[in-house]
């Protein structure tokens, strides 16, 4: 498409369509509906079913593959054309069994047949090709397959998994997994793309959502996915208070009609019998159901007593990157204005706090620099410390498509993550050596004169200090530190340095280190050196946020040193803005960060801790010490969906609503505010966190105002000018709006810094921080380096994804180890291992895999019973206290038992 429009005449009506559009778009723009059984806007056209025939300038053509020519005369409604189309559809339908067209099949084909007066008796085939029921989320009825190939193309052209193929000949052609066996054993990652595009009901979601697709569905509730930070827009179909199906929104700004196995299918937890439905209060050592009044009264008394005994700073709250913006806003307001402390933090402390610190220092604001759509123009992607194919699947799919369409790809990751298979250069640094790696690349950019001298002169600062530092990082030395061959470093630097539109996308492999903030800043150096940030060249520097609202939780000021909109609590001007709105004095001393809260509890200085929606005993590092902290704290209050490991240690557990049951907004990884809306009511007496926070304030005889979440966002905008243009009403009208957005009548900023950087001097700041080693190194006692992260089917502590079909897809936490290490330690694939670090022990199932390099092992932490975070250390980023999850020295032992299956026991253990 060129951006220009052309005029086409359809049945005598003139329509304008973009240059390059197909006739099908022109005909539809004229209001004429055509069947098009082999086409879907999300994939390329093939013109195989011949059901969209029209006449263009005298010739009968398939509208779905014929480009619209300027001034073309198109006939669509003529009787002969309608008959041709009807014949084509009738021929297709006749090869199917009667159930293809009966009333309980809501398929596109059945609808087309009804519109063309093709009756169910047309479908007369006997069938008998059987079904594949092996997969929890995808059912194949081979008799309904018309071999249109839409599913195969969705899998290839949108998802990029290439799991499906068409097999057989002629009328026997049918879709099948490319691996040949049952669907459940195929490469399918259950994104639901095939389910959503299938026009006949051959591929469906089993259960009540059977046959529903994003094109053919009953009215649903538009909301934003509550799993990862991609922020997919979803349409939720519900019936009798239960979710029937979750469908990808075709107009979702990031997902564009796509989703992944979590957002699309992992909603079974909503109706789990393990959901908490009543408040619980620990009496005589047991958590017992009580009324809300009893629970809140007890918490309010406990908080008052803590303040009376130890002062306001003896109370702390851990807010949640899973909760809405409005909930995060309200909890920090309660802590600051009612309790009188800045002891509020959120779990971005554990993932992207180095991004906030690093990006702010380099560029001025804490968010990614660009809209993700800009990546479509990138000719070179540098993907660092991220496995988006598994952890951010919709972004992973879009990045992969960009590569398949010609962009160069550099992957920097110790593991052979999914995208690495498609990389032009895969850099595999030793865990903990990122800063040296980035300095090595920067050294080559400078020495090979690939830096943008004009940009550096006009818009950046710090070049001389960096140049001096980089003298110490020639390729050979960097190769020694990182283990990356010097030739690969040079190849990668040249690819990035010579690209016209380079893009940097990074993940927790950059941040979760002892020097994570230095990692972010030295990575940002590369974009500054190339002038690929704040210009129309490239896609800047963009973090992939782990949880759905990591960005928003911090934007809202759920941080111990920052108010809503990132004003410092130490800045009298920032404080006075909030004080004017709240009508109270705000403490000027920064509060405790999450790791410091636990330390204070262990030291006896913290008397009350409120944990909102985080299973800190499972997901925080050195988790034995976290548990110790909770035991030492006199009052622990927990808002939760389930009786998590953390909730088990609480004195009061408050049952909370999930993201599908409440109102508000999230901010995704590219700074877009999007609405969250309730599709179903919460179970039993569960409340939204918003209502819980307000009710707790009321129990303390305080009024937080903001009766509705919309009021909270509006109030936040009065404190933080960057959000002043946002409102629920605007988001309802416009969909997604990025921040900064200071004016209600003007769009938010997709791309930052086009005129100046937001630093005090308006310049991008190069960082000259030297490489320093990680907190742990392997030695004779602990010879392996453990890296932790997510797998595709699960999400963090797995409290939601383990309660449904995803458990079938991935039932245990594995320890991946290289075949050389498996041989060295006599580990068999599938054996149950004891893994030990200097901090604790975990039990994992061995998976021998070349995805990890020799000397390194990898595990997820989705099953609390495996205890992976008992292994991780208390080393933290020197700037932000983000834990060093990515470098732990471990050893394996006990490779003697065959795996008995960890999933079922883990399921019941939480
Ligand atoms: Fe949800 Fe992320 Fe999957 Fe999108 S990619 S559906 S936001 S988990």
Token pair listed for 646: 């953390």
Q: How would you label 128-167 residue by residue, b for 16+ Cβ within 10 Å and e otherwise? A: ebeebebbbbbbbbbbbbbbbbbbbbbbbbbbbbebbbee
Work out the percent of the chain whose per-residue pLDDT is above 70: 98
Strand ranges for 613-717 from DSSP E: 635-640, 652-655, 664-667, 672-676
Task: For a ligand 1 pocket test, name from 222, 226, 259 the mutation site with the most ligand atoms within 8 angstroms of its C-beta.
Answer: 259
Quote the CA–CA distance of 725 and 723 in Å, as a whole number: 6
Quote the CA–CA distance of 679 and 398 in Å, as a whole number: 28
Asked if residue 898 has pLDDT above 70, the reply is: no
Asked if residue 896 has pLDDT above 60, the reply is: no
Asked if residue 910 has pLDDT above 60, the reply is: no
Find out whether the beta carbon of 228 lies less than 6 Å from any atom of ligand 1. yes
pLDDT-derived band at 804 (thresholds 50, 70, 90) equals confident
For ligand 1, atom 3: residue with the closest CA: 260
Cα 159 to chain centroid distance, Å, stands at 15
pLDDT of 694? 98
pLDDT of 893? 85
Instruction: Please give the number of the atom of ligand 1 that sits closest to the Cα of 255.
Output: 4
Q: For the chain, what is the mean pLDDT?
A: 94
Instruction: Please give the number of the atom of ligand 1 that sits closest to the Cα of 668.
Output: 7
Instruction: Please give the number of the atom of ligand 1 that sits closest to the Cα of 231.
Output: 7
pLDDT-derived band at 264 (thresholds 50, 70, 90) equals very high
Find out whether the beta carbon of 232 lies less than 6 Å from any atom of ligand 1. yes
pLDDT-derived band at 735 (thresholds 50, 70, 90) equals very high
- Averaged pLDDT for residues 47-73: 93
Quote the CA–CA distance of 541 and 526 in Å, as a whole number: 9
Asked if residue 905 has pLDDT above 70, the reply is: no
Instruction: Please give the number of the atom of ligand 1 that sits closest to the Cα of 226.
Output: 1
Find out whether the beta carbon of 227 lies less than 6 Å from any atom of ligand 1. yes
Asked if residue 738 has pLDDT above 90, the reply is: yes
- Averaged pLDDT for residues 216-235: 92
Q: For residue 587, what are the β-bridge partners?
A: none
Find out whether the beta carbon of 753 lies less than 6 Å from any atom of ligand 1. no
For ligand 1, atom 4: residue with the closest CA: 232
pLDDT of 908? 26
Q: What is each CA distance from 167 to 137, 143, 163, 668, 698, in whole angstroms? A: 22, 14, 13, 40, 65
pLDDT of 123? 87
Asked if residue 76 has pLDDT above 70, the reply is: yes
Write the pLDDT tens digit of every residue in 175-214.
999 999 999 999 999 999 999 999 999 999 998 888 889 8
Instruction: Please give the number of the atom of ligand 1 that sits closest to the Cα of 260.
Output: 3
CB within 8 A of 807, min separation 6: which ones?
801, 903, 907
Work out the percent of the chain whose per-residue pLDDT is above 90: 88
- Averaged pLDDT for residues 770-793: 95
- Averaged pLDDT for residues 574-602: 97
Quote the CA–CA distance of 445 and 424 in Å, as a whole number: 18
Beta strands 5-10 and 13-18, pairing class: antiparallel
Instruction: Please give the number of the atom of ligand 1 that sits closest to the Cα of 261.
Output: 3
pLDDT of 2? 60
pLDDT of 900? 42
| 395 CA to centre of ligand 1 in angstroms | 9
| 189 CA to centre of ligand 1 in angstroms | 13
Instruction: Please give the number of the atom of ligand 1 that sits closest to the Cα of 394.
Output: 5
| 92 CA to centre of ligand 1 in angstroms | 35
Instruction: Please give the number of the atom of ligand 1 that sits closest to the Cα of 234.
Output: 6
For ligand 1, atom 1: residue with the closest CA: 263
- Averaged pLDDT for residues 252-269: 96
Asked if residue 416 has pLDDT above 80, the reply is: yes
Alpha helices in 266-316 (DSSP H): 292-310
pLDDT of 404? 97
CA atoms within 13 A on the CB side of 176: 14
Alpha helices in 504-593 (DSSP H): 508-511, 516-530, 550-555, 572-582
Asked if residue 816 has pLDDT above 60, the reply is: yes
Spatial contact of 46 and 149, defined as CB atoms under 8 Å apart = yes
Asked if residue 904 has pLDDT above 80, the reply is: no
| 227 CA to centre of ligand 1 in angstroms | 6
Task: For a ligand 1 pocket test, name from 214, 394, 550 the mutation site with the most ligand atoms within 8 angstroms of its C-beta.
Answer: 394
pLDDT of 216? 74
| 748 CA to centre of ligand 1 in angstroms | 23
Find out whether the beta carbon of 394 lies less than 6 Å from any atom of ligand 1. yes
For ligand 1, atom 2: residue with the closest CA: 228
Find out whether the beta carbon of 8 lies less than 6 Å from any atom of ligand 1. no
Spatial contact of 45 and 57, defined as CB atoms under 8 Å apart = no
Find out whether the beta carbon of 347 lies less than 6 Å from any atom of ligand 1. no
Instruction: Please give the number of the atom of ligand 1 that sits closest to the Cα of 254.
Output: 4
Alpha helices in 448-507 (DSSP H): 453-459, 463-470, 475-482, 486-498
Write the pLDDT tens digit of every residue in 430-483.
999 999 999 999 999 999 999 999 999 999 999 999 999 999 999 999 999 999
Write the pLDDT tens digit of every residue in 855-895.
999 999 998 888 999 999 999 999 999 999 999 999 998 65
Quote the CA–CA distance of 60 and 500 in Å, as a whole number: 43
pLDDT of 539? 85
Q: What is each CA distance from 702 to 305, 316, 333, in whole angstroms? A: 16, 18, 11
Helix, strand, coil fractions of the chain, as percent rounded to 5: 35, 20, 45
Q: What is each CA distance from 484 to 67, 209, 488, 492, in whole angstroms? A: 48, 49, 7, 11
Quote the CA–CA distance of 558 and 579 in Å, as a whole number: 16
Whether omega before 740 lies within 30 degrees of 0, making that bond cis, reads yes
Q: How would you label 15-42 residue by residue, b for 16+ Cβ within 10 Å and e otherwise? A: bebeeebbbbbbbbbbebebbbbbbbeb
Asked if residue 906 has pLDDT above 50, the reply is: no
Find out whether the beta carbon of 255 lies less than 6 Å from any atom of ligand 1. yes
| 87 CA to centre of ligand 1 in angstroms | 41
Task: For a ligand 1 pocket test, name from 214, 262, 267 the mutation site with the most ligand atoms within 8 angstroms of its C-beta.
Answer: 262
| 797 CA to centre of ligand 1 in angstroms | 16
């Amino acid at each position: 498409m060129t951006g220009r429009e052309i005029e086409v005449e359809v049945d005598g009506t003139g329509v304008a369509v973009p240059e390059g559009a197909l006739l099908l778009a022109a005909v539809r723009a004229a209001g004429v509906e055509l069947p098009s059984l082999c086409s879907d806007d999300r994939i390329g056209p093939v013109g195989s079913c011949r059901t969209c025939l029209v006449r263009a300038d005298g010739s009968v053509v398939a509208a779905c593959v014929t480009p619209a020519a300027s001034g073309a005369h198109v006939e669509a409604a003529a009787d002969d054309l309608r008959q041709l189309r009807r014949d084509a559809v009738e021929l297709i339908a006749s090869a199917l069994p009667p159930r293809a067209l009966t009333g309980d099949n809501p398929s596109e084909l059945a609808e087309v047949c009804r519109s063309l007066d093709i009756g169910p008796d047309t479908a007369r085939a006997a069938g008998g090709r059987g079904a594949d029921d092996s997969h929890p989320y995808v059912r194949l009825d081979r008799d309904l397959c018309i071999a249109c190939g839409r599913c195969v193309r969705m899998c290839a052209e949108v998802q990029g998994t290439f799991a499906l193929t068409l097999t057989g000949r002629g009328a026997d052609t049918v879709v099948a997994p490319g691996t040949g066996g049952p669907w459940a054993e195929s490469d399918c990652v259950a994104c639901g793309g095939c389910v959503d595009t299938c026009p006949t009901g051959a591929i469906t979601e089993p259960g009540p959502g059977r046959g529903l697709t994003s094109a053919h569905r009953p009215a649903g509730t538009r909301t934003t996915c509550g799993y990862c930070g991609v922020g997919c827009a979803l349409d939720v179909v519900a019936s009798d208070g239960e979710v029937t199906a979750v469908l990808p929104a075709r107009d979702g700004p990031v997902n564009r009609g796509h989703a992944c196995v979590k957002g699309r299918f992992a909603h079974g937890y909503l109706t789990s019998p393990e959901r908490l439905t009543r408040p619980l209060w620990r009496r005589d050592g047991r958590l017992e159901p009580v009324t809300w009044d009893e629970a809140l009264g007890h918490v309010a008394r406990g908080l008052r007593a803590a303040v009376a005994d130890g002062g306001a700073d003896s109370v702390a709250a851990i807010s949640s990157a899973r909760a809405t913006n409005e909930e995060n806003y309200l909890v920090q307001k309660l802590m600051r204005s009612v309790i009188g402390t800045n002891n509020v933090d959120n779990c971005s402390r554990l993932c992207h706090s180095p991004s906030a610190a690093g990006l702010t220092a380099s560029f001025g604001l804490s968010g990614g620099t660009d809209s993700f759509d800009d990546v479509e123009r990138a000719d070179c992607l540098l993907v660092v410390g991220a496995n988006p194919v598994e952890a951010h699947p919709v972004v992973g799919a879009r990045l992969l498509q960009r590569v398949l369409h010609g962009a160069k790809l550099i992957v920097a990751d110790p593991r052979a993550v999914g995208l690495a298979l498609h990389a032009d250069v895969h850099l595999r640094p030793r865990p903990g050596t990122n800063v040296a790696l980035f300095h090595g690349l920067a050294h080559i950019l400078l020495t090979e004169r690939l830096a943008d001298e004009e940009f550096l002169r006009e818009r950046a600062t710090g070049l001389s200090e960096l140049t001096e530092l980089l003298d110490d990082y020639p390729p050979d030395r960097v190769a020694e530190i990182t283990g990356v061959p010097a030739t690969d470093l040079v190849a990668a630097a040249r690819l990035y340095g010579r690209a016209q539109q380079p893009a940097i996308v990074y993940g927790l492999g950059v941040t979760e280190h002892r020097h994570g903030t230095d990692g972010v800043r030295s990575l940002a150096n590369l974009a500054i050196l190339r002038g690929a940030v704040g210009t129309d060249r490239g896609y800047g520097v963009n973090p992939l946020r782990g949880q759905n609202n990591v960005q928003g939780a911090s934007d809202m000021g759920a941080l111990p040193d920052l108010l809503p909109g990132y004003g410092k609590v130490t800045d009298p001007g920032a404080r006075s803005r909030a004080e004017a709105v709240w009508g109270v004095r705000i403490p000027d001393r920064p509060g405790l960060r999450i790791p410091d809260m636990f330390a204070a509890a262990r030291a006896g200085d913290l008397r009350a801790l409120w944990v909102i929606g985080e299973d800190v005993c499972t997901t925080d590092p050195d988790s034995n010490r976290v548990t110790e902290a909770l035991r030492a704290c006199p009052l622990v209050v927990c808002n939760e969906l389930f009786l998590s490991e953390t909730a088990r240690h609480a004195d009061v557990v408050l049952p909370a609503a999930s993201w599908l049951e409440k109102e508000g907004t999230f901010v995704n990884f590219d700074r877009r505010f999007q609405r969250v809306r309730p599709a179903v009511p919460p179970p039993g007496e569960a409340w939204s966190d918003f209502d819980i926070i307000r009710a707790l304030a009321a129990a303390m005889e305080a009024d937080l105002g903001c009766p509705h979440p919309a009021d909270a966002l509006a109030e936040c905008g009065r404190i933080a000018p960057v959000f002043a243009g946002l409102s629920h009403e605007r988001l309802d009208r416009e969909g997604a709006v990025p921040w900064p957005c200071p004016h209600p009548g003007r769009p938010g900023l997709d791309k930052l810094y086009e005129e100046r950087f937001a630093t005090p001097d308006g310049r991008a700041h190069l960082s000259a921080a030297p490489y320093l080693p990680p907190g742990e190194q392997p030695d004779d006692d602990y010879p392996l380096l453990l890296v932790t992260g997510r797998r595709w089917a699960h999400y963090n502590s797995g409290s939601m994804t383990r309660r449904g079909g995803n458990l079938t897809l991935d039932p245990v936490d594995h320890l991946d180890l290289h075949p050389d290490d498996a041989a060295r330690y006599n580990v068999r694939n599938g054996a149950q291992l004891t893994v030990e670090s200097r901090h604790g022990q975990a039990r994992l199932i061995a998976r021998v895999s070349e995805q990890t390099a020799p000397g390194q092992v990898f595990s997820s932490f989705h099953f609390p019973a495996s205890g992976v975070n008992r292994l991780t250390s208390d080393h933290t980023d020197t700037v932000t206290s983000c834990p060093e999850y990515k470098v732990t020295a471990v050893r394996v032992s006990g490779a003697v038992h065959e795996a008995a299956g960890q999933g079922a026991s883990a399921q019941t253990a939480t």
